[in-house]
Structure 1
Amino acid sequence: MKLAWTALAAVLMSGSALAQQGPPPGPPPGAGPAAAPGAPRREPPPLYVPEPGQPVENRAAAGTASGQTPAFPQQTRAPFVPSLVTFTVETVTEGLRFPWAMAILPDGRLLITERDGTMRIAHGAQLSPPVAGVPAVQVQEISGLDDVILDPNFAQNQRIYFTYVEKLAVGNTLAVARARLVDGPAPRLEDVKVIYRQEPNLKSEHGNFGARLLFDAQGMLFVTLGDLASDPLRPYIQQLDSGIGKIVRITTDGAPAPRGPFARRRGARPELYALGFRNPLGLAFRPGTNQLWATEVGPRGGDELNLIKPGANYGWPLISYGNEYRGGNVGEGPTKRGFEQPVYYWDPVISPSSLMFYTGEAFPAWKGNAFITSLSQQHLVRLVLEGNRVVGEERLLADRRERLRQVKQAPDGSLYVLTDGGAGKVLRLVPAARQVALSSAAGSP
């Protein structure tokens, strides 16, 4: 299925670049899967059509019962900025069950994880048999088999790294594993080894494991670790001897990366890089800088985009925008000396599930923009930044009414978008002009 359209046409007709109007769908903490089969169908709210320059959101805020206000202008509800980019949406791969992440192999195929413990290789519409050798996975509502990335030297060593929820004799944990991918008609993993585990090992009923992976230029591996969505575990989030609610930086063997910001702090885990997170699902470096950015699924009315600084504390659960899903304020409110403020937050929430910065040539107007997938509000966010401030927001693909799990830039500059749910698929955004040219070439003698 192929749909050609422009962002301007979407504003006037389809709403694909638009925010949604009406009450938020009310996802559970952590933005879990869609309703189970047989559950009453909730009709999505009508699409909101903002005028260019007007706030991208017009719904009553969900997290301002206590009179919360942004700490600085345009920290939320930035102006709607249509890019007027013409693109085509292609369905590349179908038949996925709760896909969670994808890695682009050197030949252009996609290595895809599915929450329930399956890993597959997609070559266009063709899916490989399940990759053999994947460890046993404990499915925890929104987590199971989670992220996957390639080693920076994958072409030489065929190594991959992936995260999954591991059941232990007592409790469970998020595990980071390394393996060698053996390709072929019956792909498999060999030399599987868990290199890192979130500690302490505790029992989480709902998820919020984080689980995102990212390599830096030095070959060190960043891992996001969620708060496990459990009130009794909240004290661990602010404790430096705990891996709960943190971002860590490790080597490819799982050892603490050298010269960590907490390495000399007595009692602190030396791999800690930053702390105070609820469920950080997006992680990316901003092009042309060494800045690390993250998106976080927060409380009701408190999803965040953060600039991650080594050693910084982002406040959860002591401060946050928004309210608890069960009602009431979070901690002491949205601000406090000594804690970082989000660069941007969403109220109502969008459940941001991945983050990337665009660097390609296929869409020149998007260069340098941040792209964020939304689960609960079912759109692809495009953010325009000036310095370290958001000055504009556009919402793409909203008319498709699909939960979006991950966005990745392809080598040719097109965008892959992974949808969530039991009928998951891979979409691809390509320039419409290129699609017309390809169609014309295909029809020529």
Structure 2
Amino acid sequence: MHSFNAGWFQILLDPDFKDNSYLYISYAAENKAKESALKIVRGKLTGNKLTEVETLYLAGPYSHGLFHYGGGMVFGADGKLYITTGERNFYEHLNPALPTAQDVSDKRGKVIRLNPDGSIPKDNPDFGKNAAPGLFAVGIRAAQGIIQDPATGDLWFTEHGTFQGDELNLLEKGANYGWPYKTTGGYRTKDYKPEVPNDLIFKEPVYSWDHTIAPTGLTFYQGREFPQWQGNLIVPGLSKGNLWRLIIENKELIAAEELFINDRVRLRKAVISPDGQLYLLTDEEDGKLLKVVNKAKE
């Protein structure tokens, strides 16, 4: 069950790929006990081979269950590598007294910020002496998509809720996004009532959906087919096959449009190609790469 949430999550090119040939891969790594954890590796693409492969980050501990790894990656305008890590709990009652996503000593349920070589930037936020290395933000359930707004440099990420609670968040240094203390949805464990500390400040989502869409790998539209979409955020989803166009101004959402409602398919990722075309990756046994074209221009 839920095995479709494990595997390879993302391949990301280094900003200086043309000069250094580095690419980054996030995936579900397995140990001898058949437990898994999110791992980030870097290697050089030489011809059709990946060489000099090294592990940059392991968001352990290893555990059972093939879900909620995170695995989103993006380079920020600052040249740093940002990684989303999932909390790895399917039911809320599996959390310890200090929930995984709120425990700063745990790498899971966080956003991690690294230098391209895997070292820790000196200007990362200070979460205390017991904090896991690389922490940039905490309180995140399961974020699969993170992207930079090319116009502003802001970083945005989507987060899976349980029953509803899917969110669009603006990344902020040192922020706590609330999970599982605070959610715009509900819990799978119906009687789950975490004891919330009084001294925490939570970062509110910019937008949350009132039904489950299971948002995945998002992108900002910079293409030629749909001039009216320029600069809009494209958010695909797994649940029932969702695809959304979000219009953002001054860090706020001003409009949301659901696309292709009569042609639904589970979607794992949206990307813009170097020549400005929008492609969608479907999530099926015979998964497809779909090119979105404007038939009105034909």
Residue 205 (1) aligns with residue 65 (2): yes
Preserved contact between residue 362 and residue 412 of structure 1 (Cα < 8 Å): no
Preserved contact between residue 223 and residue 278 of structure 2 (Cα < 8 Å): no
Query: Residues 251 and 197 of structure 1: is their aligned pair in 2 closer, same or farther, counting only changes over 3 Å?
Result: same
Residue 173 (1) aligns with residue 37 (2): yes
Structure 2: how far apart are the matches of 1:329 and 1:242? 21
Partner of 1:377: 240
Identity %: 34
The within-5 A match list for 1:117-128 is none
Which residue of the other structure, out of 125, 130, 145, is the alignment partner of 1:282?
Answer: 145
1:99-139 deviation line (CA, Å, top 9, x unaligned): xxxxxxxxxxxxxxxxxxxxxxxxxxxxxxxxxxxxxxxxx
Structure 2: how far apart are the matches of 1:385 and 1:362? 20
Structure 2: how far apart are the matches of 1:330 and 1:342? 21
Structure 2: how far apart are the matches of 1:421 and 1:358? 24
Partner of 1:353: 216
Preserved contact between residue 237 and residue 245 of structure 1 (Cα < 8 Å): yes
Structure 2: how far apart are the matches of 1:204 and 1:397? 36
Structure 2: how far apart are the matches of 1:215 and 1:329? 36
1:433: Cα distance to partner?
5.2
1:160-218 deviation line (CA, Å, top 9, x unaligned): 100111122454321101112233xxx3322221111113x131313100001101123
1:263-291 deviation line (CA, Å, top 9, x unaligned): 7x322234111000010011112232232
Q: Structure 1 unaligned segments of length 5 or more: list them.
A: 1-27, 33-139, 437-445
1:159: Cα distance to partner?
1.7
Query: Residues 156 and 237 of structure 1: is their aligned pair in 2 closer, same or farther, counting only changes over 3 Å?
Result: same
Residue 424 (1) aligns with residue 287 (2): yes
Partner of 1:215: 75
Structure 2: how far apart are the matches of 1:229 and 1:195? 24
What is the CA RMSD across the aligned residues, in angstroms?
A: 2.3
Partner of 1:189: 50
Residue 300 (1) aligns with residue 160 (2): no
Secondary structure of the structure 2 residue equivalent to 1:371:
strand
Preserved contact between residue 248 and residue 272 of structure 1 (Cα < 8 Å): yes
Partner of 1:389: 252
Preserved contact between residue 36 and residue 66 of structure 2 (Cα < 8 Å): no
Structure 2: how far apart are the matches of 1:330 and 1:382? 34
Which residue of the other structure, out of 72, 94, 97, is the alignment partner of 1:232?
Answer: 94
Amino acid at match of 1:177: V
Structure 1: how far apart are the matches of 2:116 and 2:150? 23
Regions of 4+ moved over 6 Å: none
1:354: Cα distance to partner?
1.4
1:363: Cα distance to partner?
2.0
Structure 1: how far apart are the matches of 2:133 and 2:283? 35
Preserved contact between residue 225 and residue 246 of structure 1 (Cα < 8 Å): yes
Preserved contact between residue 405 and residue 418 of structure 1 (Cα < 8 Å): yes
Higher relative contact order (CA 8 A, sep 6+): 1
Preserved contact between residue 31 and residue 62 of structure 2 (Cα < 8 Å): no
Amino acid at match of 2:227: P
Q: Structure 2 unaligned segments of length 5 or more: list them.
A: none
Partner of 2:231: 368
Query: Residues 328 and 365 of structure 1: is their aligned pair in 2 closer, same or farther, counting only changes over 3 Å?
Result: farther
Preserved contact between residue 354 and residue 373 of structure 1 (Cα < 8 Å): yes
Residue 247 (1) aligns with residue 111 (2): yes
Preserved contact between residue 178 and residue 195 of structure 1 (Cα < 8 Å): yes
Amino acid at match of 2:25: F
Which residue of the other structure, out of 188, 197, 203, is the alignment partner of 1:340?
Answer: 203
Query: Residues 327 and 256 of structure 1: is their aligned pair in 2 closer, same or farther, counting only changes over 3 Å?
Result: same
Secondary structure of the structure 2 residue equivalent to 1:399:
coil
Amino acid at match of 2:94: P
Amino acid at match of 2:89: A
1:229: Cα distance to partner?
1.9
1:144: Cα distance to partner?
1.4
Amino acid at match of 2:188: Y
Secondary structure of the structure 1 residue equivalent to 2:62:
coil
Structure 1: how far apart are the matches of 2:277 and 2:154? 24
**TM-score of the superposed pair, with normalisation by structure 1:** 0.61
**TM-score of the superposed pair, with normalisation by structure 2:** 0.90
Structure 1: how far apart are the matches of 2:191 and 2:184? 12
Which residue of the other structure, out of 183, 187, 192, is the alignment partner of 1:320?
Answer: 183
Residue 311 (1) aligns with residue 174 (2): yes
1:331: Cα distance to partner?
4.2
Count of aligned positions: 292
Preserved contact between residue 319 and residue 330 of structure 1 (Cα < 8 Å): no
Query: Residues 326 and 426 of structure 1: is their aligned pair in 2 closer, same or farther, counting only changes over 3 Å?
Result: same
Structure 2: how far apart are the matches of 1:204 and 1:413? 40
